Amino acid sequence: MTRPRLRQGPRGGGNWLLLIPAIALLAIVLGVPLVENVVRSFQTPFGTTGVTFDNYVRIFTVPSTLTILLRTLIAAIIVTVVALVFGYPYAYLMTRVGPRARGLMLTIVLIPFWTSALARNFAWIILLGNHAPVQQFFAFFGNPNVVLYGTAGGVILAMSQVLLPFMVLPLYASLGGIDRRLLLAARGLGSSPLVAFWRIYWPLSRTGVASGLILVFTLACGFYVTPALVGSPQQSLVAQLLGQETNQLLDFAGAGALGTFILIVTLALVAWANRVGGSINAIGAVSVEGRK
C-alpha cells in the first residue's frame, strides 16, 4: 500500500503573519519615540512654535560638542581594535579545543551577561582606583603614580572588557564553520602556516570579523554606564553629553538633534561595513575557490 501524500500549501504562505506582533511592538516601543525625537530636534530649545535647524548647526559650531564627538569616535575605535586583537585568538582557540574546554571557555565569555552592569563597573572602580591592583601592577615596573580611574584609559579598558563577548561570539560562529581541510591542503602544496592563514583562513573569517566590528563599535559609541561611573566629566563621551542635556539643561531639542545625528552616522557606518564586509567575503571566497 502506498502512503497518501499530504497536500502542501504554498511555500511560506501566511508565515509573515507571525511577524506582526514583533513589528507592532517595535513600532510602539522604538518607532514612536524615535519619530518624536526627530520631530523635537527641529524645534526651538524651549519648545516654542516654529521649525529651526539651529540644533543641528550647534553640533558643528560648538567646540565642546565637537571635542566630545571626536573623543567618542577615538574611544570606540580603540575599544573595537582591542576587542578584535583579544577576541580573534580566543575564538580561534575555542574551535581547536575539545568539547569540555570549549564549554568552559564559552562559559567564561558568557559570565559578563550574567553579571549586573553596575557590579561590573563598581568592580572596575575598585581595580582602577588609588592603591588598587592596577596601580600596584604599574608600581612593580617602576611607575607607582598611574591611576586609571577617572581617565579615558580606564574607560577604554573597562569598555573593552564589557564588550569583548560581542566580538568573540560572532567570531566563534564564523570560525567554527571553516573547513580546516583547506589549510591541510595548502600545507600539502607547500604553503607555510602563515601564508595559509592569510590567504585562506582569514578571508573566510571576515564575515564574523565584520559582524563583531559592527556590534562592538556601535555599542561603544552609545555606551553610558561605564563612562559615567569609571570616567570623569572632563573626559565625558557623547552619551554623557546627551544625559546632561536632558537631565540638567532640559534641552530636549538639542539632545534630539545630537541623538538623531549619532543615529544617522551609526546607521551609515553599519551599512558601509555590511557592504564592504560582504564584498570582501565574496572576493575571499572566490579566491579560495580559485586556489582549490
* pLDDT tens figures, 216-240: 988 888 888 888 888 887 888 888 8
**Would you say residue 78 has pLDDT above 90?**
yes
**H helices present in 6-143, as ranges:** 20-26, 32-41, 54-61, 63-96, 99-114, 117-128, 133-140
Q: CA angle at residue 44 from 39 to 49, to 5 degrees? A: 80
**Would you say residue 25 has pLDDT above 70?**
yes
Amino acid 183: pLDDT: 78
Task: Give whole-number Cα distances, 101 to 59, 97, 107, in Å.
Answer: 50, 6, 10
On average, the pLDDT of the chain sits at: 80
**Average pLDDT of span 273-278:** 66
Closest to 67 measured CA to CA, from 233, 213, 226: 233
Judged by average pLDDT, the poorest of 44-48, 60-64, 78-82 is: 44-48
Amino acid 266: pLDDT: 81
**Average pLDDT of span 181-196:** 80
Instruction: Give the pLDDT band of residue 172 (cuts 50, 70, 90).
Output: very high
Q: Which grid coordinates belong to 186?
A: 595548502
Instruction: Give the pLDDT band of residue 205 (cuts 50, 70, 90).
Output: confident
Largest CA distance in the chain: 87
Q: Are 90 and 167 in contact (CB under 8 A)?
A: no
| Residue whose C-alpha cell reads 567554527 in the numeric block | 176
Amino acid 171: pLDDT: 92
Instruction: Give the pLDDT band of residue 41 (cuts 50, 70, 90).
Output: confident
**Average pLDDT of span 256-261:** 86
274/35: higher pLDDT: 35
Judged by average pLDDT, the poorest of 2-11, 37-46, 74-83, 157-166 is: 2-11
Amino acid 278: pLDDT: 57
| H and E: helices and strands count for the chain | 14, 0
Q: Are 203 and 283 in contact (CB under 8 A)?
A: yes
CA dist 67 and 279 (Å) reads: 34
Q: Are 290 and 199 in contact (CB under 8 A)?
A: no
pLDDT tens digits for range 90-130: 999 998 888 899 889 999 888 888 888 888 888 888 888 77
